[in-house]
Each structure stands twice: as C-alpha cells, then as structure tokens.
Amino acid sequence: MKQVELRNVSKSYDGKSQVLKGIDVTINPGEFFVLVGPSGCGKSTMLRMIAGLEEISGGDLYIGDVYSNHSPPSKRNLSMVFQNYALYPHLTVEQNILFGLHTKKITKAEQKKRCNETAEMLGLSELLKRKPRQLSGGQRQRVALARSIVTHAPICLMDEPLSNLDAKLRSKMRSEIRQIQKRLGITMIYVTHDQTEAMTMADRMMILHHGQVQQIGGPIDIYNFPSNTFVASFIGAPPMNLSQVSFRDREIVLDDHRAISISEEMARSIPIEERIIAGIRSEHIKLAKGGKVSFYAEAVNVEVLGTETLITFITGNKQWIAKWSGQWNISIGEKLPLYIDCADLYLFKQETGECIWHQSNRHDQYSLKEAIF
C-alpha cells in the first residue's frame, strides 16, 4: 500500500487558463478515494497527471515518499483501468490479462499463477480462451480490472470504468470493485461524475468544480455538512432544495412570501446584511402533524418509487421536492400541509455560496449495536 500526495498541483495547457488550480490532498494507503464532479471539472486530468500521462504544470506529486513529477508512467508502480477498457480484440481474455507482465521479468509459471488467481477472483475462469467480442460489457470490464490487479501494483487508478454499463450492472459492479479493493488492500483512486457511485464506494471523496476543490471528506459528512451551494446541489438524490430568502422577526421568508419559523439561536446567527440562500434536504420536508404547519403547497408531480415517494411543489420560481418513505396516494393538484424544522435548514451566502449556518447535531446516525441492543 502506498499513499499519493498532491501539493499545490495545477495544470494549464496554454500557460494562461488553468484546468486545475492549487490541488492539495493526501490519499492514504489502502484508501478508496473518489474524484467526483461534473464533466469538464478536471477530475480525469488529475488522474492522468498521477499516472504520468499528463505533465504537471505546477506543484509537486509524491507517490509513496518519492517525488514523481517527472517519473515515466512505467516507473510509478501503479495500474490504470480506462473508461473504454482498452482490450486488444485479437487477444484472448488470458492474453489480455497477462499483457505487459513480460516487461516486468516475471516467470511464465508466476504469470500463469497470477492469471488463474485473478480470473477466479473476478469470475473469469471459464472465459480465459474467449476473445473480447464474445464477452458482455460487464465481462469486459472485469477483464480490464483483472489486467490491473494481476500486476500487484499497490495503487490502482480507475477512470469512469462503469459509464458504459447499464444501471443494474453498474450497481452490481460497484459492489464487486469495492469488495476487491478491500480484499487486496490496494490504494484506489476512482473518477466518476455519478454522485451515487461516489457516495456508495468512497472512503473519502473530493468534489471538483471548474478545476477547484470544493470539499474533501467522507460521503456522509459531505452529505450532511456541504461546504457550499454547489456541493449541496451536486450531492444527494434528489439534490438539496435551495431558495433565496429574507428575514422578519423569527421567520425565514421564501420568495413567494411563505414563511418558516426559526429558533432564537438561528435568528442570532444570521448576518442581516448578507443576502442569504436557504437549503433543505428533501427527506426533511415532512407532512405536518398536530397543527404544526409551516405552509401549504400544491403537488405538481408525484413519483411513487416503491420504497419512497417524491412530491414536487413550487415555492416562488423554484421547484422543491419532498421525499417521504413508503407509497403515498397523492393526486397532482392536491394541497399538502408541510412542516420544516428550522434545525434541518442550511443557510448559505448568496454571493459566494459558502455555508454559514447548520445545526451540527441534528442528524441521527444509527449503529447495528444500538439497533440490536
């Protein structure tokens, strides 16, 4: 296992506009680290810089304790899985897995042993004599992963390896890749634009936007405590509901004059001179009970997903979504009494997007021990 460290790393192609700006991060040995962000944010460029396929314009890269800015890819002791798998169509599965091992001066017997062990781990033992055209998408993805694992490199880089698969297979492969990484104990750096992949796979994740780091942390911490409006709207399905608000006495007023009561503590913490955006996660918009109604809203869309129901309604010029557990028989146009606890609200500066208020103890986390005992 090896760590990877980037110190103030930047990338520009013309010497002027920067694709990546001041990246500072240490990826720990044995960690599953995910780079996530929208297309064009610089995540694949960062991965290719670690691999040695792109030059570093500024800053320092350390792999292990070794300064690696100018090391050729072959000397970095890492493997990489590409988005298009990059399999050789004229070679068998076995030959694709072993391709490149001959340059490492590994004996034929050891190569055969590694190939058989890796193929068994990934369920490819019966497919070793087939050509890539005879394989499904998921099987090809496994071959690309096997070719990476068989090198026994302590670091594995993966560039959106599941993007070509259908939704059901992506879900299955997410679990398999995660299990294999834990079993082997390798350091894995994984690029995706899919926040669900990032949330379900990562030990820690880095969110990039316009080449800049927005937040680094564990998936649950980032979900519960987003650093700005971009993170809040990017992480979560559905994303966080956001609206510009104003204040009067002990109320937050939405742009259509509907109001949410707030606590004295929250009222004291609000900088009156700032323009503020309020945010609320969809699961925290609740059906009002016992006369505690924040406001009424008309359902404009209802999606019953089996285990949960998504209800869309309008606040001013924004569409908000409430997410309720179970199957709700709600008609479009029906008026719903809704309740929002101010403890579940987030406040952001409109100018910078920076989060300026949240109640740190409002989220309950459950353990198996507590559930059983």
**Residue 178's domain is classified under what CATH number?**
3.40.50.300
Per-residue pLDDT at 110 exceeds 80: yes
Judgement on whether residues 37 and 165 belong to the same structural domain of the protein? yes
Q: Around 86, how many Cα atoms within 13 Å sit in the side-chain half-sphere?
A: 13
pLDDT, mean of residues 243-256: 87
Cα maximum dimension of the chain: 78
Judgement on whether residues 98 and 197 belong to the same structural domain of the protein? yes
Residue 344 phi, psi dihedral angles, 5° rounding: -95, 0
**187-192 and 155-159: which strand pairing?**
parallel
Decide if 365 is inside a domain: no
Structure confidence at residue 360 (pLDDT) = 62
Structure confidence at residue 368 (pLDDT) = 62
Structurally, how many domains does the chain consist of? 2
Per-residue pLDDT at 28 exceeds 90: yes
Q: Domain containing 186: what range? A: 4-230
Per-residue pLDDT at 199 exceeds 90: yes
Decide if 369 is inside a domain: no
Judgement on whether residues 217 and 171 belong to the same structural domain of the protein? yes
**18-27 and 4-12: which strand pairing?**
antiparallel
Mean pLDDT score across all residues of the chain: 90
Poorest-pLDDT segment among 107-116, 211-220, 328-337? 107-116
Decide if 371 is inside a domain: no
Decide if 244 is inside a domain: yes
Respond yes or no on whether the N-terminal peptide bond of residue 238 is cis (omega within 30° of 0).
yes
Judgement on whether residues 172 and 84 belong to the same structural domain of the protein? yes
Q: What is the CATH number of the domain that holds 321?
A: 2.40.50.140
Judgement on whether residues 163 and 309 belong to the same structural domain of the protein? no
Judgement on whether residues 152 and 91 belong to the same structural domain of the protein? yes
User: In which band, very low, low, confident or very high, does the pLDDT at 85 lie, cut at 50, 70 and 90?
Assistant: confident
Judgement on whether residues 259 and 317 belong to the same structural domain of the protein? yes
Decide if 164 is inside a domain: yes
Judgement on whether residues 292 and 342 belong to the same structural domain of the protein? yes
User: At 254, which helix (H) or strand (E)?
Assistant: strand 251-254
Judgement on whether residues 285 and 214 belong to the same structural domain of the protein? no
Decide if 370 is inside a domain: no
Judgement on whether residues 276 and 153 belong to the same structural domain of the protein? no
CA 334 – CA 302 distance, rounded (Å): 10
Q: What residues does 163 pair with on adjacent strands?
A: none
Domain final residue pick, 172, 203, 230: 230
Domain final residue pick, 172, 198, 230: 230
> Of the spans 42-51, 240-249, 252-261, which averages the highest pLDDT?
42-51
Judgement on whether residues 87 and 162 belong to the same structural domain of the protein? yes
Domain final residue pick, 176, 201, 230: 230
Residue 51 phi, psi dihedral angles, 5° rounding: -75, -20
Decide if 27 is inside a domain: yes
Whole-number percent of the chain with pLDDT over 90 = 66
Judgement on whether residues 213 and 265 belong to the same structural domain of the protein? no
CA 204 – CA 222 distance, rounded (Å): 9
Decide if 367 is inside a domain: no
